Amino acid sequence: MDAVDLGALLRQAAGGDEQAWDVLVGRLAGLVWAVARGHGLSQADAAEISRTTWLRLAESLNLITDPERLGAWLASTARRECLRMLRRQERCISTEDRVDWMCGDCGLELVDDLANRGRDAALWSAFEALEPDCKALLRVMLADPPPSYAELSEVFEMPIGSIGPTRARCLDRLGGRTTLRPLHPQGRRAVASTARGRVS
Amino acid sequence: MNTDDQAVAKASRIDGAAVHLDWPDAAEAAREATFRRLHSLVREKDPMPADVLVSARSSFGMRSIDDEPAALVYDSIIDDDLLSSVRSGGRTVRQLTFEARDLVLEVEVSGAGHLVGQVVPPQATVVELRHRGGTTPVATDELGCFHVPAMPDGPVSFRCRPTRSAAHSVATSWITL
């Protein structure tokens, strides 16, 4: 993302220029949305996270001195708010429609899906069923425009050098029959038999 | 080998691509193909709703330029470990502390959306509850205590006009309670 451009937009917005603000929002709203959805929040909850995050930026415009870190600042703020919301929902008795990746049979369903349903549908349910850390990282990397590795490193608090290998490991979990790892013991038999088939 | 396993084994032998995936370059190519498919799936199945963009834009009008910011310094939902919430009987009260230079705001919100708060140092003043629908003034008693029976949905911020001390109002950061 163009840092010089962002710096000018930040200064203009801090000075009261609403058009500059709108351009900033247009550039980075997708990233904030991806963070919230990547954490398994429902659409309604993701909308709340987005609103809170942008309100935070509006009140902090003068405090952000390094425009190159704006994307990371927004994504980190959104991520912290997601964790708050997930904690709060854990405490509530009435759970909402979020976190479909927590279901116990997802791994089994994944294997069935690959055999029985369309390729994209299977990929999508495998993505939905990914472990939370993988899903969050991939969903944020799929934001439009995508964040840089430096931004990802800051948001997910991991070294830049770990991002590529983690991404590869997460994608391998989605890669279809030949690269499937068992997600839980019930799914292991079908995957193990595939592996045996390959060496025979 | 049972019938299922035989079928899988046969399919794997026929499927030459499966064998090639053992090569690093092919594995890499498969990953990137998966990523590209996911990218188009995300666009199709999880687009950002238009009202999210509208809402983000409208945040600009909610700025409080002249207020002194009060930072969130404690939130029991994040800062307490799970054990301490068990020890306290699994209560569902969430406690938060916002701090500005000369003023502290403590709030407790129950799972039912009932909020009690206190302005420190204690004083009779007015706390403005800012939310999506506008601003709701809430009076504190002489001990600085106030009470909101039903919290609005969505992010909120508290703005306080100290009647005795500071020249500026104090506004807390926005938070979803």
How many angstroms away from the CA of A103 is the closest CA of chain B?
A: 20
ipTM above threshold 0.85? no
Contact B46 A197 (CB under 8 A): no
Question: B155 touching A, CB under 8 A?
Answer: yes
Question: B34 touching A, CB under 8 A?
Answer: yes
Most confident of A177-181, B52-56, B159-163: B52-56
Question: B3 touching A, CB under 8 A?
Answer: no
Q: Is B175 helix (H, G, I), strand (E, B) or coil?
A: strand
Rg (C-alpha) for chain A, rounded Å, is 20
pLDDT at B129: 94
A vs B, Cβ pairs < 8 A, gives: 156
Could you tell me how far CA B82 lies from the centroid of its own chain?
A: 19
Residue A162 vs residues A168, A173, B158: alpha-carbon distances, Å: 10, 17, 40
Q: Which of residues 76-135 of B touch A (CB under 8 A)?
A: 77-78, 85, 92, 94, 111, 132
pLDDT at A66: 85
pLDDT at B17: 44
Residues listed for chain A:
200
Cα–Cα dist A35/A40, whole Å: 9
- Per-residue pLDDT tens over the stretch B85-144: 544 555 578 899 999 988 999 999 987 888 999 999 998 999 999 998 889 999 999 999
**Global pTM value:** 0.75
Question: B49 touching A, CB under 8 A?
Answer: yes
Contact A18 B13 (CB under 8 A): no
Closest residue in chain B to residue A146, using alpha carbons only: B39
Amino acid at B115: L
Q: pLDDT (tens digit, 0 to 9) for every residue of chain A, 200 residues total?
A: 455 588 889 999 999 999 999 999 999 999 999 999 999 999 999 999 999 999 999 988 888 888 888 999 999 999 999 998 988 877 653 334 333 333 334 444 555 544 545 788 889 989 999 999 999 999 999 998 899 999 999 999 999 999 999 999 999 988 653 344 444 444 444 444 444 444 33
Rg (C-alpha) for chain B, rounded Å, is 27
On whether the CB atoms of residues A128 and A101 are closer than 8 A, the answer is yes
On whether the CB atoms of residues B71 and B99 are closer than 8 A, the answer is yes
Cα–Cα dist A117/A180, whole Å: 16
pLDDT at A94: 37
On whether the CB atoms of residues B95 and B108 are closer than 8 A, the answer is yes
Contact A127 B21 (CB under 8 A): no
- Per-residue pLDDT tens over the stretch B12-52: 444 444 444 556 688 888 899 999 999 999 999 999 999 99
